[in-house]
Amino acid sequence: MERIAVYPGTFDPITNGHVDVIERASQLFDKVIVVVSVNSKKETLFTDVERLEMAKESLKDLPNVEVESHHGLTVDFARSKNSVALIRGIRAISDFEYEFQIALMNRKLVPEITTIFLMPHERYTYLNSSIIRELSKYKQDVSEFVPPAVADKLKEKFGY
């Protein structure tokens, strides 16, 4: 039986911290499906299509990683893909409380899917998409924090 994990997120944009967690998950599972979540109530810098394309480009060298988008509950998507696990990245204690609540609700909804918390490398613990967007807005070089395709898209988006 193929062991499949799902790693959901908005990825607005995907960062090297996300990539690090995905690389770690790809070593633990036969297949990892990265799900670019689409939430009509959340305002994003990049469109659904742009976020999907950036994630695909950033992860193209990982043979057992696929990238898809999804509207709706992540656990429904994971169940439809016969996933055994949901991957969540935890950078700091402040992430844990929220992620723990979501994990417990997901377990209530779909008990057969386990939430796995993975920490990124310590050099990425302070990194998140909001910081990247803010730095880019002020035309700061973020190339050490994001994959090359994302750095290019940010430069294009903010005109620098």
Looking at 50-150, which runs of residues are DSSP E strands? 65-71, 85-89, 114-118
On whether residue 40 sits in a domain, the answer given is: yes
122 φ, ψ to 5°? -60, -25
Active-site annotation holder among 91, 107, 155, 157: 91
On whether residue 132 sits in a domain, the answer given is: no
Residue 25 token pair = 């998950």
Active site residue 123: no
Tell me if 120 sits within 8 A of 19, measured CB to CB: no
On whether residue 154 sits in a domain, the answer given is: no
The pLDDT tens digits of the residues spanning 125-138 come to 888 999 999 999 99
Q: What is the pLDDT of residue 95?
A: 80
Task: Give the CATH number for residue 55.
Answer: 3.40.50.620
Active site residue 91: yes
On whether residue 46 sits in a domain, the answer given is: yes
**Residue 119 CA to its chain's centroid (Å):** 13
Altogether, the residues listed in the chain come to a count of: 160
The pLDDT tens digits of the residues spanning 71-124 come to 999 999 999 999 999 999 998 777 888 899 999 999 999 999 999 999 999 999
Task: Give the whole-angstrom CA distance, residue 132 versus residue 123.
Answer: 15
Tally of domains in the chain: 1
**Residue 43 CA to its chain's centroid (Å):** 17
pLDDT category at 40 given cuts 50, 70, 90 is low
Active site residue 94: no
On whether residue 151 sits in a domain, the answer given is: no
In the chain the first and final C-alpha atoms are separated, in Å, by 48
Active-site annotation holder among 26, 58, 83, 129: 129
Active site residue 129: yes
On whether residue 107 sits in a domain, the answer given is: yes
On whether residue 110 sits in a domain, the answer given is: yes
Query: pTM of the prediction?
Result: 0.94
Q: Which domain holds residue 95?
A: 4-126
Instruction: State the helix-helix crossing angle for 129-137 and 148-158, rounded to 10 degrees.
Output: 40
Tell me if residue 141 falls in helix, strand or coil.
coil
On whether residue 34 sits in a domain, the answer given is: yes
